[in-house]
Amino acid sequence: MEWAARHCDLRDDPERLLPGTKSVVVVAMNYYPPRLQPADAPQFAYYAYGRDYHEVIKQRLWQLAASIEQMAPCQTRCCVDSAPIRERYWAQQAGLGFIGLNNALILPKRGSYYFLGVLLTTLELEPDMPCTLSCGECRACIDACPSGALSGDGAVDARRCLSCLTIEHHGELPDWVSSVIGNRVFGCDECQKCCPHNIHAQPTQVTEFHPSDDFLSLTHDRIAQMTQEEFSRLFSHSAVRRTKLAGLQRNLSIVSPSPPKGGCPK
Protein backbone atom coordinates (compact mmCIF):
# COMPACT_ATOMS: atom_id res chain seq x y z
CA MET A 1 0.00 0.00 0.00
CA GLU A 2 3.03 2.29 -0.20
CA TRP A 3 1.55 3.86 -3.33
CA ALA A 4 -1.04 5.57 -1.10
CA ALA A 5 1.67 7.65 0.53
CA ARG A 6 3.32 8.70 -2.70
CA HIS A 7 2.56 11.92 -4.59
CA CYS A 8 0.74 13.60 -1.68
CA ASP A 9 1.47 17.00 -3.21
CA LEU A 10 -0.17 15.97 -6.50
CA ARG A 11 -3.07 14.37 -4.64
CA ASP A 12 -3.91 17.66 -2.95
CA ASP A 13 -3.85 19.82 -6.06
CA PRO A 14 -5.50 18.81 -9.37
CA GLU A 15 -3.79 21.82 -10.97
CA ARG A 16 -0.58 19.84 -10.79
CA LEU A 17 -2.14 17.02 -12.79
CA LEU A 18 -3.61 19.33 -15.41
CA PRO A 19 -2.31 22.91 -15.35
CA GLY A 20 -5.17 25.36 -15.60
CA THR A 21 -7.78 22.99 -14.16
CA LYS A 22 -10.98 24.91 -13.49
CA SER A 23 -13.45 22.07 -12.92
CA VAL A 24 -13.45 18.55 -11.55
CA VAL A 25 -16.18 16.28 -12.94
CA VAL A 26 -16.85 13.09 -10.99
CA VAL A 27 -18.79 10.15 -12.38
CA ALA A 28 -20.11 7.12 -10.51
CA MET A 29 -20.99 3.79 -12.13
CA ASN A 30 -23.07 1.16 -10.36
CA TYR A 31 -21.48 -2.27 -10.16
CA TYR A 32 -23.93 -4.12 -7.91
CA PRO A 33 -24.21 -7.52 -9.64
CA PRO A 34 -27.54 -8.77 -10.98
CA ARG A 35 -26.57 -12.35 -10.01
CA LEU A 36 -24.49 -13.41 -7.01
CA GLN A 37 -22.16 -16.33 -6.40
CA PRO A 38 -23.61 -19.30 -4.51
CA ALA A 39 -23.10 -18.68 -0.79
CA ASP A 40 -20.95 -21.80 -0.42
CA ALA A 41 -18.51 -20.79 -3.19
CA PRO A 42 -15.26 -18.97 -2.36
CA GLN A 43 -16.41 -15.36 -2.39
CA PHE A 44 -15.11 -12.55 -4.57
CA ALA A 45 -15.84 -8.91 -3.80
CA TYR A 46 -18.70 -7.67 -5.96
CA TYR A 47 -16.52 -5.15 -7.74
CA ALA A 48 -14.48 -8.00 -9.19
CA TYR A 49 -17.43 -9.90 -10.67
CA GLY A 50 -17.18 -8.35 -14.11
CA ARG A 51 -14.76 -6.55 -16.35
CA ASP A 52 -12.01 -4.38 -14.88
CA TYR A 53 -13.59 -1.00 -14.08
CA HIS A 54 -10.46 0.88 -15.14
CA GLU A 55 -11.06 -0.18 -18.73
CA VAL A 56 -14.81 0.41 -18.68
CA ILE A 57 -14.89 3.81 -17.00
CA LYS A 58 -11.96 5.18 -18.93
CA GLN A 59 -13.71 4.51 -22.22
CA ARG A 60 -16.83 6.33 -20.96
CA LEU A 61 -14.75 9.24 -19.61
CA TRP A 62 -13.00 9.65 -22.95
CA GLN A 63 -16.41 10.00 -24.59
CA LEU A 64 -17.38 12.59 -21.97
CA ALA A 65 -14.09 14.43 -22.49
CA ALA A 66 -14.74 14.59 -26.23
CA SER A 67 -18.19 16.09 -25.56
CA ILE A 68 -16.77 18.70 -23.18
CA GLU A 69 -14.03 19.64 -25.62
CA GLN A 70 -16.73 20.23 -28.24
CA MET A 71 -18.52 22.68 -25.90
CA ALA A 72 -15.55 25.07 -25.88
CA PRO A 73 -11.81 24.94 -26.50
CA CYS A 74 -10.31 23.35 -23.39
CA GLN A 75 -8.03 20.61 -22.15
CA THR A 76 -9.16 17.54 -20.25
CA ARG A 77 -7.58 14.68 -18.33
CA CYS A 78 -9.32 11.45 -17.35
CA CYS A 79 -8.36 9.67 -14.13
CA VAL A 80 -9.50 6.20 -13.04
CA ASP A 81 -7.00 5.21 -10.37
CA SER A 82 -4.42 6.31 -12.93
CA ALA A 83 -3.41 9.55 -11.25
CA PRO A 84 -3.06 10.59 -7.62
CA ILE A 85 -6.36 12.37 -6.94
CA ARG A 86 -8.79 12.24 -4.03
CA GLU A 87 -11.75 10.73 -5.86
CA ARG A 88 -14.07 10.43 -2.88
CA TYR A 89 -13.32 13.95 -1.64
CA TRP A 90 -14.14 15.41 -5.05
CA ALA A 91 -17.21 13.21 -5.33
CA GLN A 92 -18.45 14.66 -2.05
CA GLN A 93 -17.62 18.18 -3.20
CA ALA A 94 -19.53 17.49 -6.42
CA GLY A 95 -22.59 16.47 -4.42
CA LEU A 96 -22.58 12.80 -5.38
CA GLY A 97 -22.53 11.48 -1.84
CA PHE A 98 -20.65 11.38 1.44
CA ILE A 99 -17.70 9.37 2.73
CA GLY A 100 -18.93 6.76 5.20
CA LEU A 101 -17.14 5.39 8.23
CA ASN A 102 -16.35 2.38 6.05
CA ASN A 103 -14.34 4.75 3.83
CA ALA A 104 -16.63 4.21 0.84
CA LEU A 105 -18.48 6.94 -0.98
CA ILE A 106 -22.17 6.54 -0.19
CA LEU A 107 -24.68 7.83 -2.69
CA PRO A 108 -27.88 8.65 -0.79
CA LYS A 109 -30.69 6.23 -1.69
CA ARG A 110 -28.35 4.34 -4.04
CA GLY A 111 -25.65 2.92 -1.80
CA SER A 112 -21.92 2.43 -2.17
CA TYR A 113 -21.50 -0.20 -4.89
CA TYR A 114 -20.17 2.43 -7.27
CA PHE A 115 -16.93 2.93 -9.14
CA LEU A 116 -15.67 6.49 -9.40
CA GLY A 117 -13.99 8.24 -12.27
CA VAL A 118 -12.69 11.81 -12.41
CA LEU A 119 -12.34 14.16 -15.33
CA LEU A 120 -10.31 17.35 -14.97
CA THR A 121 -10.94 20.15 -17.39
CA THR A 122 -9.68 23.67 -17.96
CA LEU A 123 -13.26 24.63 -18.80
CA GLU A 124 -15.12 26.47 -16.05
CA LEU A 125 -18.35 24.59 -15.31
CA GLU A 126 -21.09 25.58 -12.90
CA PRO A 127 -20.44 23.63 -9.68
CA ASP A 128 -22.94 21.47 -7.81
CA MET A 129 -23.37 21.84 -4.07
CA PRO A 130 -21.29 19.51 -1.86
CA CYS A 131 -23.10 16.67 -0.12
CA THR A 132 -23.41 17.43 3.59
CA LEU A 133 -24.93 14.14 4.78
CA SER A 134 -23.09 11.80 7.13
CA CYS A 135 -23.38 8.40 8.82
CA GLY A 136 -25.15 9.98 11.78
CA GLU A 137 -25.40 7.58 14.70
CA CYS A 138 -24.87 4.45 12.59
CA ARG A 139 -21.88 2.24 13.41
CA ALA A 140 -22.99 -0.92 11.61
CA CYS A 141 -19.86 -1.32 9.48
CA ILE A 142 -17.55 -1.00 12.47
CA ASP A 143 -19.40 -3.81 14.22
CA ALA A 144 -19.56 -5.95 11.07
CA CYS A 145 -15.89 -5.77 10.09
CA PRO A 146 -14.56 -9.29 10.72
CA SER A 147 -11.02 -8.13 11.46
CA GLY A 148 -11.51 -4.89 13.40
CA ALA A 149 -9.98 -2.79 10.64
CA LEU A 150 -12.34 0.17 11.04
CA SER A 151 -11.39 2.57 13.80
CA GLY A 152 -14.68 4.46 13.91
CA ASP A 153 -13.25 7.79 12.84
CA GLY A 154 -13.29 7.02 9.12
CA ALA A 155 -9.86 5.41 9.00
CA VAL A 156 -9.16 1.88 7.75
CA ASP A 157 -6.18 -0.05 9.08
CA ALA A 158 -4.89 -1.60 5.85
CA ARG A 159 -2.79 -4.07 7.85
CA ARG A 160 -6.01 -5.60 9.20
CA CYS A 161 -8.33 -5.13 6.22
CA LEU A 162 -9.15 -8.40 4.45
CA SER A 163 -9.60 -6.56 1.19
CA CYS A 164 -6.05 -5.20 1.33
CA LEU A 165 -4.60 -8.44 2.67
CA THR A 166 -6.19 -10.78 0.13
CA ILE A 167 -5.47 -8.51 -2.84
CA GLU A 168 -2.45 -6.31 -2.14
CA HIS A 169 -0.38 -8.33 0.32
CA HIS A 170 2.62 -10.18 -1.07
CA GLY A 171 3.94 -13.35 0.53
CA GLU A 172 2.39 -15.35 3.35
CA LEU A 173 -0.58 -13.90 5.15
CA PRO A 174 -0.31 -13.32 8.91
CA ASP A 175 -1.49 -16.36 10.92
CA TRP A 176 -4.46 -14.55 12.48
CA VAL A 177 -6.07 -14.01 9.05
CA SER A 178 -7.23 -17.65 8.83
CA SER A 179 -9.49 -17.14 11.84
CA VAL A 180 -11.42 -14.25 10.25
CA ILE A 181 -11.19 -14.75 6.49
CA GLY A 182 -14.28 -16.99 6.33
CA ASN A 183 -14.82 -17.98 2.70
CA ARG A 184 -13.60 -14.67 1.20
CA VAL A 185 -11.00 -15.55 -1.41
CA PHE A 186 -10.68 -12.13 -3.05
CA GLY A 187 -11.58 -8.93 -1.24
CA CYS A 188 -14.26 -8.32 1.33
CA ASP A 189 -17.60 -6.52 1.18
CA GLU A 190 -18.76 -6.88 4.79
CA CYS A 191 -18.58 -3.17 5.60
CA GLN A 192 -20.73 -2.43 2.57
CA LYS A 193 -23.15 -5.35 2.85
CA CYS A 194 -24.22 -4.19 6.30
CA CYS A 195 -24.59 -0.52 5.33
CA PRO A 196 -28.26 0.52 5.46
CA HIS A 197 -27.77 2.64 2.35
CA ASN A 198 -27.11 -0.51 0.33
CA ILE A 199 -30.63 -1.79 0.98
CA HIS A 200 -31.45 0.39 -2.03
CA ALA A 201 -28.76 -1.12 -4.26
CA GLN A 202 -30.09 -1.96 -7.69
CA PRO A 203 -28.40 -4.36 -10.11
CA THR A 204 -26.16 -2.58 -12.55
CA GLN A 205 -27.27 -2.22 -16.14
CA VAL A 206 -23.66 -1.91 -17.27
CA THR A 207 -23.30 -5.28 -18.93
CA GLU A 208 -19.50 -5.21 -18.71
CA PHE A 209 -19.88 -5.53 -14.92
CA HIS A 210 -22.17 -8.56 -15.12
CA PRO A 211 -20.62 -11.87 -14.03
CA SER A 212 -20.26 -14.67 -16.56
CA ASP A 213 -21.75 -18.12 -16.01
CA ASP A 214 -18.20 -19.40 -15.92
CA PHE A 215 -17.31 -17.07 -13.05
CA LEU A 216 -20.46 -17.90 -11.11
CA SER A 217 -19.73 -21.61 -11.36
CA LEU A 218 -16.31 -21.33 -9.69
CA THR A 219 -15.89 -23.76 -6.81
CA HIS A 220 -13.22 -24.32 -4.20
CA ASP A 221 -11.88 -27.33 -6.10
CA ARG A 222 -11.80 -25.55 -9.42
CA ILE A 223 -9.78 -22.65 -8.04
CA ALA A 224 -7.46 -25.05 -6.23
CA GLN A 225 -6.76 -26.88 -9.49
CA MET A 226 -6.80 -23.82 -11.72
CA THR A 227 -4.02 -23.54 -14.27
CA GLN A 228 -2.42 -20.29 -15.36
CA GLU A 229 -4.13 -20.74 -18.71
CA GLU A 230 -7.59 -20.90 -17.14
CA PHE A 231 -6.79 -18.03 -14.77
CA SER A 232 -5.76 -15.85 -17.72
CA ARG A 233 -8.85 -16.81 -19.70
CA LEU A 234 -11.17 -15.97 -16.81
CA PHE A 235 -9.44 -12.94 -15.34
CA SER A 236 -7.22 -11.21 -17.90
CA HIS A 237 -9.76 -8.34 -18.10
CA SER A 238 -10.73 -8.51 -14.44
CA ALA A 239 -9.48 -6.83 -11.28
CA VAL A 240 -8.73 -10.36 -10.01
CA ARG A 241 -5.58 -10.50 -12.12
CA ARG A 242 -4.01 -8.14 -9.58
CA THR A 243 -3.62 -10.91 -7.05
CA LYS A 244 -2.29 -13.37 -9.64
CA LEU A 245 -3.08 -17.07 -9.58
CA ALA A 246 -0.56 -17.72 -6.81
CA GLY A 247 -2.18 -15.09 -4.58
CA LEU A 248 -5.65 -16.44 -5.23
CA GLN A 249 -4.58 -19.96 -4.37
CA ARG A 250 -2.72 -18.70 -1.30
CA ASN A 251 -5.96 -17.13 -0.07
CA LEU A 252 -7.91 -20.25 -0.97
CA SER A 253 -5.63 -22.40 1.13
CA ILE A 254 -6.88 -20.72 4.32
CA VAL A 255 -10.54 -19.97 3.52
CA SER A 256 -13.17 -22.09 5.18
CA PRO A 257 -15.39 -23.98 2.74
CA SER A 258 -18.67 -22.72 4.21
CA PRO A 259 -20.01 -19.14 4.36
CA PRO A 260 -19.55 -17.14 7.56
CA LYS A 261 -22.55 -17.24 9.90
CA GLY A 262 -24.93 -14.29 10.10
CA GLY A 263 -24.26 -11.41 7.77
CA CYS A 264 -26.58 -9.19 5.81
CA PRO A 265 -28.83 -9.83 2.84
CA LYS A 266 -26.80 -7.84 0.28
Which alpha helices (DSSP H) does 53-96 contain, by range?
Answer: 53-71, 87-93
In angstroms, give the least distance from the CB of 173 to ligand SF4. 13
Quick one: which of 14, 84, 100, 111 contacts ligand SF4 (CB under 6 A)?
A: 100
Quick check: is 153 catalytic?
A: no
Quick one: which of 37, 92, 102, 121 contacts ligand SF4 (CB under 6 A)?
A: 102
Strand pairing category for 76-79 and 98-99: unpaired
In angstroms, give the least distance from the CB of 161 to ligand SF4. 3
**Chain CA centroid to CA 126, Å:** 28
Q: Which of 241, 251, 238, 253 is nearest to 47 (CA)?
A: 238
Quick one: which of 57, 135, 218, 255 contacts ligand SF4 (CB under 6 A)?
A: 135
Residue 10 and residue 83 in contact, taking contact as beta carbons nearer than 8 Å = yes
DSSP secondary structure string for all residues of 220-243: HHHHHT--HHHHHHHHTTSGGGGG
Quick one: which of 55, 66, 82, 139 contacts ligand SF4 (CB under 6 A)?
A: 139
Return the range that interacts with ligand SF4 (CB under 6 A); candidates 27-35, 71-79, 97-105, 222-230.
97-105
Catalytic residues: 81
Enumerate binding residues for ligand SF4 (CB under 6 A). Answer: 100-102, 106, 135, 138-141, 145-147, 149-150, 156, 161-163, 188, 190-191, 194-197
